[in-house]
Amino acid sequence: MARAMVGVIGGTGLGEALGALGGGEVRALDTPFGRPSAPITLTEVGGVPVALLPRHGEGHMLNPSQVPYRANIWALKSLGVTHVLASGAVGSLREEVAPRNLVIPDQVIDKTFRRAGTFFDDLAVHVEFAAPFCTTLRNVLVKAGTGFPARVHQGGTYVCMEGPQFSTRAESELHRSWGASLIGMTVMPEAKLAREAELCYALVALPTDYDCWKPHPASVDQAKLIEEILANVKSATQNAIELIRRAIPHVAALEKPCACQSALALAIWSDRSRIAPATREKLRPILEKYLAG
């Protein structure tokens, strides 16, 4: 397999802490889908090339609906990234998934409705998405979590809501009734776009609280609650950075490409001879190997 390059997309907390993975060359890119959330830092972790991108931008100025997901994934792909390890703060919908734990989810329910969810506005492309997270990359994270000081949950369904407001109590109870484990705002369409770009993608979710289904003690006022959540973010962030740091060498050691890296092989339904030159150029980093000649 060609040499791996790992993209790390940091969510709430981890986005501001990505510098802990190392400094390096900073690349300010433009894409056919606009500018990414922030300049991308190119560095190495254990000798493995890594591209660091804070999802919400410098200073956390982008809310989940404003994140330029297409620009972010396109930029990483154009830089040569092959695998993406993402993180994101979430609310827990399960008693056993406690704040400050980490979760490697395996399923998603997409409730977003304001976000551009595909690169392919000008042609018909249908990728398989039954397993929304790369199984190979999830296994890497599980292996890296062996003996980890914080509890790492394997599997769970992530409900991705539009936001930016949090759930109502009725919504939280509904999501629990679906069997979901996590509620968040950022994994979609990020994971879908990564699949369209033939990037392996997995998520480290950082539970910060129990959403609103679990009542808070009456003795805890709102200010104290926010303080507690921020402390949970800080702790989970440090755990996530360490887990990702441990996982990166395992990514580099992978010997075989996985199905994610040929996701478009049977997915392009449009007549390729009719794809406009402008579209070919716009999507060159993604489609080039399928439109040769």
Does 209 belong to an annotated binding site?
yes
Pairing of the two strands 200-209 and 152-154: unpaired
Give the Cβ contact number of residue 187 at 10 Å: 26
Does 126 belong to an annotated binding site?
no
For residue 156, give the nearest of 207, 222, 223 by alpha carbon: 207
Q: Are 188 and 160 in contact (CB under 8 A)?
A: yes
Residue 41 CA to residue 46 CA, distance in Å, equals 16
- Active-site residue, from 122, 211, 221, 271: 211
Does 210 belong to an annotated binding site?
yes
Q: Is 122 a catalytic residue?
A: no
Does 221 belong to an annotated binding site?
no
215 contacts: CB under 8 Å, gap ≥ 6 = none
- Active-site residue, from 30, 121, 209, 221: 209
Residue 133 CA to residue 155 CA, distance in Å, equals 10
Does 185 belong to an annotated binding site?
yes
Q: Is 209 a catalytic residue?
A: yes
Burial 66-105 (b: 16+ CB within 10 A, else e): ebbbbbbbbbbbbbebbbbbbbbbbbbbbeebebbbbbbb
Does 31 belong to an annotated binding site?
no
- Indicate the annotated binding residues for phosphate: 12, 55-56, 186
- Indicate the annotated binding residues for substrate: 185, 209-211
| Residues noted as catalytic | 209, 211
- Indicate the annotated binding residues: 12, 55-56, 185-186, 209-211
